[in-house]
Amino acid sequence: MTSRADIWVTRPAAQATNLLAALEAAGWSAVAVPTLAIVAAADSDALQRQARGQLAAANAAVFISRNAVDWLWRVLGDDAAALLAGKRLLAVGPGTAATLRERGFNDVVMPDAGADSEALLARSELATPAGENIVIVRGRGGREKLATTLRERGAQVDYLEVYVRQHDETTQARLPQLWREQPPAAIVVSSRAGLDALRAMTPAEWQPRLRATPLICLGERLAATTAALGFRHCQAVAAGGGDAGIVAALRQSLAVGHE
């Protein structure tokens, strides 16, 4: 590296620490620009009652994200582990599976490749779920593909929505200054919701610059949507590539951009 290019990281603040350190170690100036804040989904007492009832009746629990794991434990504390004991646990991607392992659950089903609903549905464990009671632990809103397909295959499926994503107010307030003083050489985006939040919060005069900035997108599905949103370049990072994959994608993307 010959310069300290600013790389924006849009992950929620609590999940960005390791990536920010990896980018700094690789020679960039890593700028935390969390576009989404994660907050509780509902009144804690009501959500506790719902969570206890659904998990007690479930045969299996599917976790959509690391946040889904962390917020279930926030809701239930140590009781979460007791309620999940003996049930089949599934994770949409390797990061989510790793978070469950950190909680003591080593036997977690996850996709053989990829990190989305389609990849998880390809697992043999979900091929014939007829008669099973499956709880999908997630944030409020999101794709319906997983639940719809499992219901078509005969499962009873319920959502347990343990958190809500909203625009990060601190980032929204400082974005005009960031665009003036630390415009990004590239932006790391982890989800469509996070990208949509960045688009919504960016002032109108900076929208052309945003669309021209290279994106590093986690997953092929997210990368495939960016052209329709007006972005000129998005480098996809394969699921499971981790922070090292993001660093490699940035090197490739910025090298292409300066040829």
How confident is the prediction along the chain (259 residues), in pLDDT tens digits per residue? 445 899 999 998 888 999 999 999 999 999 999 999 988 887 788 999 999 999 999 999 999 999 999 999 999 999 999 999 999 999 998 889 999 999 999 999 999 887 789 989 999 999 999 999 999 999 998 889 999 999 999 999 999 999 999 999 999 999 999 999 999 999 999 889 999 999 999 999 999 999 999 999 988 888 899 989 999 999 988 766 788 999 999 998 887 554 4
For residues 75 and 144, membership in a common domain is answered with: yes
Domain edge (last residue) among 139, 165, 191 = 165
Q: Assess whether 95 and 189 both reside in one domain.
A: no
217 shares a domain with 161 = no
Residues 67 and 127 in one domain: yes
Contacts of 239 (CB under 8 A, 6+ apart): 93, 94, 111, 113, 114, 115, 116, 119, 218, 219
Minimal CA–CA distance to 69: which of 29, 24, 38, 33? 38
Check whether residue 190 and residue 122 sit in a common domain.
Answer: no
Residues 55 and 145 in one domain: yes
Asked if residue 96 and residue 14 are part of one domain, the reply reads: no
What is the per-residue pLDDT for 256?
A: 59
Enclosing domain of residue 127: 39-165
For residues 253 and 144, state if they share a domain.
no
The pLDDT, as a whole number, for residue 95 is 86
- Please count the structural domains in the chain: 2
Specify whether 48 is located in the same domain as 141.
yes
Do 133 and 57 meet the contact criterion of CB atoms below 8 Å apart?
yes
Summary count for the chain: helices (H), strands (E): 12, 11
140 and 180, same domain (yes or no): no
Residues 61 and 119 occupy one common structural domain: yes
pLDDT of residue 258: 43
**CATH (domain of 86):** 3.40.50.10090
Question: Hey, which residues does 109 pair with through a beta bridge?
Answer: 90
Q: What is the pTM of this model?
A: 0.80
Same domain, 45 and 157: yes
CA quadruple 44, 46, 48, 50: dihedral sign:
negative
Q: What is the dihedral of CA 205, 209, 212, 213, to 10 degrees?
A: -140
DSSP code, position 135:
E
